[in-house]
Amino acid sequence: MLEVYHSLVTKYCRKRQHSVYKGMTARIQLAALDHNQNIGREQAATSEGITRYDVFPEATKAWVAKPIAETKSYEYLHKISTSVLKSRSMEQNPIRHHKAKSPPVDLATNIAGHEQPPKEEIICRTSTRLH
């Protein structure tokens, strides 16, 4: 769970972008708000009411099923973002965005050692390990 939070912090605080102390503090606080607002989301379901799962091969090359959570909500951030941008625009330094070009990566389409079994079988096997 801590890895998930740290990953979220890097969404707001880029490792390659310098920020002043106040800016870094504000970014970490935004990450904490995002995390706290969206933790414990219910499992997503289809329009027919069937719970949704994501099926993928693990590092052990066994197929696993992970419950898909409902979509995150960012409504609470609109007011905060507007206030931050308004206060930032009053300063002389505009916000600069840098996009780093990443080299193309040739990845295997499937890291598992065998083909994917039926989704229901993976969900059944994974859910017994979770409980």
pLDDT tens track for 89-124: 766 555 565 565 666 666 666 667 778 888 888 888
DSSP of 90-110: TSSS------PPPPP----S-
- Lowest mean pLDDT segment, chosen from 26-40, 74-88, 92-106: 92-106
Summarize pLDDT for 47-78 with one digit per residue, the tens: 999 999 999 888 878 899 999 999 988 887 78
Model pLDDT, residue 19: 77
Model pLDDT, residue 45: 93
Number of domains forming the structure of the chain: 2
Examine residue 77 and state whether it is found in any structural domain, yes or no. no
Examine residue 57 and state whether it is found in any structural domain, yes or no. yes
41 vs 18: which has the higher pLDDT: 41
Q: Which of 105, 103, 86, 104 is nearest to 95 (CA)?
A: 86
Examine residue 108 and state whether it is found in any structural domain, yes or no. no
Examine residue 6 and state whether it is found in any structural domain, yes or no. yes
Model pLDDT, residue 2: 77
Model pLDDT, residue 50: 92
Same domain, 30 and 54: no
Q: Which of 5, 11, 66, 83 is nearest to 37 (CA)?
A: 5
Same domain, 59 and 35: no
> In angstroms, rounded to a whole number, what is the distance separating the alpha carbons of residues 119 and 127?
12
Domain that holds residue 127: 42-71+113-131
CA distances from 13 to 27, 92, 109 (A): 6, 21, 31
Examine residue 20 and state whether it is found in any structural domain, yes or no. yes
Examine residue 124 and state whether it is found in any structural domain, yes or no. yes
The answer to whether the pTM exceeds 0.85 is no
